[in-house]
Amino acid sequence: MKSVDGPVLVTGSGGFIGGRVVEILHAFGGLPVRASLRRWSSAVRVGRLPVDIVLCDVTDPAQVREAVAGVRSIVHCAYGNEHVTVEGTRNILAAAQAEGVDRVVHLSTMEVYGDVEGEVSEEAPVRRSGWEYRDSKIDAEHLCWRYADGGLPVTVLRPTIVYGPFSRNWTVEFARRLAAGGSFPARDDAQGTCNLVYVDDLVGVIHRALHREEGVGEAFNVNGEERITWWSYLDALNEGLGLPPLEAGGRLARRTRSAAMAPVRMAARRTLDRFERPIMEVYRTSPTAKRFMRWAEAMIRGTPSTGEYQLFRRSVGFSTDKARARLGYRARFSSSEGIRLSTSWLRHHGFVGVPELQWEPR
Amino acid sequence: MRVLERGGRGSSRRGKLAAGEVGALRIAVVGCGAIGHAFHVPALAAIPGVGERVVLVDSNLSRANALRQEFGSGAVCSDHREVIDDVDGAIVAVPPEHHASVAGDFLAAGIPVLCEKPLATSIADGAALVEVGRRSGALLGVNQVRRLFPAVRRAAEWIGSGSSGTVRRIEIHEGAPFDWPLTSGGTFGRDGCGRGVLQDLGAHALDMVCWWLGSRPAITRYMDDSMGGSESVARVEFEGEGVEGVVQMSWLSRLSNTFRIEGEDERLEGEIRAWDSLWVTKRGGRARKLGLEPAVSSYPRVKGRMIENFLDAIRGHGTLEVPAEEVLPSLDMIEECYRRRGRFPMPWHEAGKEVCDEVG
């Protein structure tokens, strides 16, 4: 095992995974960390640690070169729209090559395989689909391989459903929906595989990839040990939050509601994309508009999307045999342990169930 | 004064007015970061005859120039010491660790100051500023803007009226994901000041507590989530003279943003940023609505009122909304909290140790 010494740059440190990478590498990984962020307001999480923090827009090559100067390795978590994901990765790789870093760990996603079913290993082909997130992650991987061919020591990780503290998609939003009595697909529509990996297990793989040469030039799936269903995850999270048992039935009614909400969801997203500033100004200044917008948001968030139905029905598993063999990976966190930690974090932060003042005028 | 005037370089007459004189004041805004951009400069710009004479001071002149262009201010300058002799008042909006030195320079020269909160980063510095102002006769106010929020103000009146009976418990919960458009990172990480949400939201909340009670309660416990940097979640527990309470703050998640004051006879509840109503409940009775001051019905109005109050006080019309000596008790509480800080149990953080054990 070759140790990568010296400072590590973590891009996307204001995000869910990047933030946890910074925390663990600093607190337990024995590496000096340079946390990179796009704006200072994103620094509140990693700012709790005495780490070096730099502002860096990854789409700006000069800023990237400055952020990379003096580091020995890079964990690239930053992503965004196609431009940010692809050009940002290109800039990181170019700066890494110029700096002569010992390792780049690039965070990709299981989504690069497309909407496949069955058992998926790293040998499976990547499939473009027209979805910006997926296609841009595939393009970013291609850039990694091009630089790897040029001698840059790059490792690509393809995590599955990463959950845990600060996970907006799979922890906070689900918990909020559960606490609000929001609707999910019925049990029979949620029997697909939920490939959960607790965020700390992913960071453990990143830590190993920084230290093990066996990972250089390779892509690895990063998944948890268990193959539970989406319903099992929701049920366990619900129980962990101490909420009343989930209603399993009402399949037809839920599907109908989801289908009816689809055009509303699309119209709301397009309107917000186009008129975000004036809408937020109205939100801030008009109590009536604020109440309506909150109600509409709750309705939309509380209704499963058609995409969620597809995801919850999909039967797919992502093999971690390669990560086990080459990187010595094994998941440390069972789903029950990950959910226990997540729900204690959710309560601490008042997302659900904190015994704080809840004021509803009557 | 070596400032860049609108339309060219040059100096202008000193704008100092005698007490009671009506005329166009020249105000310096020192610090052109987020609070200057969001609060002070637009509020001054809305006052005819004042906005166009404002001098913007920032060591980063491009930032000052950007604000001048946006709000039509009068001049820019990179060093506050160069404008001391030419202004009638100064608004100090630099990072908190520089409040004492910058505000002190103006006060020592007899120039009135409206200082951003917190007044200073230590009770010693805060008290020293008050003393400098007292000696020179210069006014020193603090932008504790929550005191102008109708709900917070009404709560103070309600307690003062005595209708609640003796206050027994106070709770304040304030928090939202942090999105303040900071222009520098002096708060965070290795090179940061090590003070986060307590110094930010806590400066308001603890001032509310001290203002409402008219005294400084004792800290019974303080915990936050700092791991060597600046805290993002904090909880203060306090008690004193028959009252106990808790203030909970977060930059990481949305809390209820409410307060509750329990009196012996009545309970007052409401949102901190409520503009129209609060709710009072008599012991054993039903909640009834308490109307709020209609003149202040939005955040821009609050800003305008704070700035107008400062200008009126300079002119000798009325007193400052928040004289600096009134915030010293809350400053003292903040300092004690940081001195006694303990960390929340955070098992979700400690769990990360496991994944690094076999490597490295």
Out of B189, B351, B360, name the one closest to residue A211 (CB): B360
B359 falls in which pLDDT band (50, 70, 90)? low
Q: Amino acid letter at A317?
A: G
Residue of B204, B203, B242, B197 lying closest to B223 (CA atoms): B197
Segment A17-27 shows an average pLDDT of: 98
Structure tokens at A61: 């090559």
Q: Which site among A48, A52, A73, A199 would you substitute to test the B interface, given the most B Cβ atoms closer than 10 Å to its Cβ?
A: A48
Contact call for residues B108 and B46 (beta carbons, < 8 A): no
Joined together, the tokens standing for residue B319 give: 């007193």
Pair (B230, B82) in one structural domain: no
CB contact under 8 Å between B358 and A328, yes or no, is yes
| Domain that residue B284 falls in | 146-294+323-348
Q: Which residue among B118, B143, B168 closes a domain? A: B143
Of the candidates A341, A108, A120, which has an alpha carbon nearest to the alpha carbon of residue A227? A120
Q: Which residues of A touch B234 (CB under 8 A)?
A: none
pLDDT in tens, A111-154: 999 999 999 999 999 999 999 999 999 999 999 999 999 999 99
Among the residues of chain A, which ranges form H helices?
A: 16-27, 61-68, 82, 88-99, 132-149, 173-179, 199-211, 230-240, 251-285, 287-301, 306-313, 321-327, 335-348
Is pLDDT above 70 for A339?
Answer: yes
Backbone φ and ψ of B275, nearest 5°:
-105, -15
Closest CA–CA distance from residue B264 to any residue of chain A (Å): 19
Write the pLDDT tens digit of every residue in B94-105. 999 999 999 999
Last residue of a domain, which of B99, B120, B143?
Answer: B143
Burial zone of B62 (CB within 10 Å; 0-12 exposed, 13-18 middle, 19+ buried): exposed
Residues B209 and B79 in one domain: no
Residue B12 has pLDDT above 50, yes or no: no
Nearest CB to A165: which of B229, B269, B348? B348
Q: Is residue B9 part of a domain?
A: yes
Question: Which residues of chain B have a CB within 8 Å of the CB of A357?
Answer: 171, 173, 256, 258-260, 269
User: pLDDT band at residue A5, thresholds of 50, 70 and 90?
Assistant: confident
Q: Taking 70 as the threshold, does the pLDDT of residue B17 lie above it?
A: no
pLDDT score at B357: 74
Q: Give B276: exposed, middle or buried? Use CB within 10 Å, 0-12, 13-18, 19+.
A: middle
Q: Is the pLDDT of residue B320 over 70?
A: yes
> How many CB pairs below 8 Å do chains A and B form together?
169
Q: Do B258 and A359 touch (CB under 8 A)?
A: yes
The pLDDT of A158-170, averaged and rounded, is: 97
Closest residue on chain B to A172 (Cα): B253
Which pLDDT score, from 0 to 100, does residue B11 have?
Answer: 33
Q: How far is the C-alpha of B108 from the C-alpha of B132, rounded, in Å?
A: 6
Q: Suggest the residue from B348, B353, B357 to mutate for an interface test with chain A (most A CBs closer than 10 A).
A: B348
Helices A251-285 + A287-301 axis angle, to 10 = 150
Contacts with B344 from chain A: Cβ below 8 Å? 348
Return d(Cα B334, Cα B340) in angstroms, integer.
10
Q: Output B89 or A295, whichever has higher pLDDT.
A: B89
**Share of residues in chain A with pLDDT > 90 (%):** 75
Grade residue A360 by pLDDT with cuts at 50, 70 and 90: very low
Output DSSP code: residue A87: I
**pLDDT, position B16:** 55
Q: Rounded to a whole number, what is the distance in Å from the CA of B121 to chain A's nearest CA? A: 18
Q: For the segment B132-170, what is each residue's pLDDT rounded down to a tens digit?
A: 999 999 999 999 999 999 999 999 999 999 888 899 999
Identify the weakest region by mean pLDDT among A69-78, B15-24, B269-278.
B15-24
Q: Which residue has the tokens 């002119």?
A: B315
Q: Tell me the shortest Cα–Cα distance from A204 to chain B, in angstroms.
A: 5
Has residue B210 been placed in a domain? yes
Are B108 and B130 within 8 A, CB to CB? no
User: Is residue B105 within 8 angstroms of chain A, CB to CB?
Assistant: no
Model confidence at B13, pLDDT cuts 50, 70, 90, reads: very low
Q: Say yes or no for a CB contact (<8 Å) between A50 and B190.
A: yes
Chain B (196-255) residues lying within 8 Å, Cβ to Cβ, of chain A: 196, 225-233, 248, 250-255
- The answer on pLDDT for B9 being more than 80 is no
For the ranges A72-86, B19-33, B159-173, which has the lowest average pLDDT?
B19-33
- In chain B, residues with a C-beta closer than 8 Å to the C-beta of A5 are none
SS (H, E, C) B7-23: CEEECCCCCCCCCCCCC
CA distance B359 to chain A (A): 7
B305 in a structural domain: no
The answer to the question of residue B314 being in a domain is no
Residues in a beta bridge with B237: B221, B246
Its ipTM equals 0.90
Q: Which of B356, B357, B358 to mutate to test binding with chain A, by most A CBs within 10 Å of its CB?
A: B356
User: Given this model, what pLDDT does residue B294 score?
Assistant: 66
- Residues of chain B with Cβ-Cβ distance to A351 below 8 Å are 253
Å from B64 to nearest chain A CA? 19
B233-240 and B218-224 as β-strands: parallel, antiparallel, unpaired?
antiparallel
pLDDT tens-digit series, residues B185-226: 888 988 888 999 999 999 999 999 999 999 999 999 999 999
B301 part of a folded domain: no
Q: What is the share, in percent, of chain A residues with pLDDT greater than 70?
A: 96
Cα distances (Å, whole numbers) of residue B195 to A134, B39, B227, B229, B296: 40, 22, 11, 7, 31
User: What are the domain boundaries of chain A?
Assistant: 8-167+195-226+316-333
pLDDT of residue A103: 97
Give the model's pLDDT for residue A289. 83
DSSP code, position B242: T
Strand B243-250 to B167-175 pairing: parallel
Can you give the pLDDT at residue A353?
61
CATH number for the domain that contains residue B285: 3.30.360.10
Pick the residue from chain B with its C-alpha nearest to A49: B229
Cβ neighbors of B293 (< 8 A, separation 6 or more) are B150, B153, B154
Q: Is pLDDT above 50 for A356?
A: no
Flag if A41 and B299 touch (Cβ within 8 Å). Answer: no
Query: What is the CB neighbour count within 10 angstroms for residue B195?
Result: 23
* CA–CA min distance B41, chain A (Å): 19
B232: closest CA among B175, B315, B165? B175
Same domain, B110 and B190: no
User: Same domain for B172 and B87?
Assistant: no
Average pLDDT over residues A157-175: 96
Rg (CA), chain A: 21
Judge if B52 and B190 occupy the same domain. Answer: no
Residue B303 included in any domain? no
Q: Cβ distance A127 to A190 under 8 Å? A: no
Q: Searching chain B, which residue's CA lies closest to the CA of residue A4?
A: B360
Interchain pair A348, B344: CB under 8 A: yes
Q: Which residue of A has its CA nearest to B247?
A: A356
Provide, as residue numbers in chain B, all residues whose Cβ is less than 8 Å from the Cβ of A341. 347-348, 351
Question: In this model, does residue B251 exceed pLDDT 60?
Answer: yes
Closest CA to A109 of A227, A226, A230, A220: A220
Contacts of B93 (CB under 8 A, 6+ apart): B29, B30, B31, B32, B33, B35, B36, B39, B40, B116
Chain A residues within 8 A of B260 when measuring between CB atoms = 357, 359
Is B155 in the same domain as B282?
yes
Flag whether pLDDT at B21 surpasses 70: no
pLDDT of residue B164: 81
Nearest Cβ partner for B355 among A39, A332, A358: A332
Smallest CA–CA distance, residue A160 to chain B, in Å, is 18
DSSP state of A247: P
> Which residue of chain B has the CA closest to A204?
B355
Domains identified in chain B, total number:
2
Evaluate whether residue B47 is within a structural domain.
yes
Nearest neighbour of A45 by CB, restricted to B181, B187, B252 = B252
Beta-carbon separation of B355 and A39 below 8 A: no
Interface test with A, best of B37, B253, B359 (most A CBs within 10 A): B359
Mean pLDDT over residues B19-28, rounded? 72
Contact between residue B198 and residue B219 where contact means Cβ atoms under 8 Å apart: no
pLDDT value of position B338: 97
Does residue B79 sit in the same domain as residue B191? no
Residues of B in contact with A201 (CB under 8 A): 355
Which residue of B lies nearest to A353 if distances are taken between CA atoms?
Answer: B255
Angle of CA points B175, A24, A199, to nearest 5°: 75
Token pair of A243 as six digits = 């909420």
* Band of residue A303 on the pLDDT scale cut at 50, 70, 90: confident
- Residue B18, number of CB atoms within 10 A of its CB: 8
Contact A361 B258 (CB under 8 A): no
Q: How high does pLDDT run on average in chain B?
A: 90
Which one of B111, B143, B175 terminates a domain? B143
Residues B109 and B217 grouped into a single domain:
no
Beta carbons of B348 and A344 less than 8 Å apart: yes
In degrees, to the nearest 5, what angle opens at C-alpha A182 toward C-alphas A176 and A183? 135
Asked whether the beta carbons of residue B233 and residue A348 sit closer than 8 angstroms, the reply is yes
pLDDT for B322 beyond 60: yes
Residues B197 and B336 in one domain: yes
Average pLDDT over residues A270-299: 82
Q: pLDDT by residue (tens digit) across A191-241?
A: 999 999 999 999 999 999 999 999 999 999 999 999 999 999 999 999 999
CB B30 within 8 A of CB B3: no
Superfamily in which the A8-167+195-226+316-333 domain is placed by CATH: NAD(P)-binding Rossmann-like Domain (3.40.50.720)
Distance from C-alpha of B55 to C-alpha of B253, rounded to nearest angstrom: 37
Structure tokens at B38: 């969001």
Q: What is the pLDDT of residue A304?
A: 87
Residue A51: pLDDT above 70?
A: yes
Does residue B205 sit in the same domain as residue B266?
A: yes
Pick the closest to residue A77 from A116, A115, A45, A114 (CA basis).
A45
CB neighbours of residue B29 within 10 Å: 29
Residue range B337-355: average pLDDT?
95
Residue of A53, A356, A357 lying closest to B188 (CB–CB): A53
Q: What does DSSP assign to residue B94? A: S
Question: For residues A167 and A301, is the Cβ–Cβ distance under 8 A?
Answer: no
> Residue A288 pLDDT more than 90?
no
Q: What is the mean pLDDT of residues A331-359?
A: 81
pLDDT at A287 over 80: no
Backbone phi and psi for residue B269, each to the nearest 5 degrees, phi listed first:
-135, 145
Q: Are the Cβ atoms of A48 and B180 closer than 8 angstroms? A: no
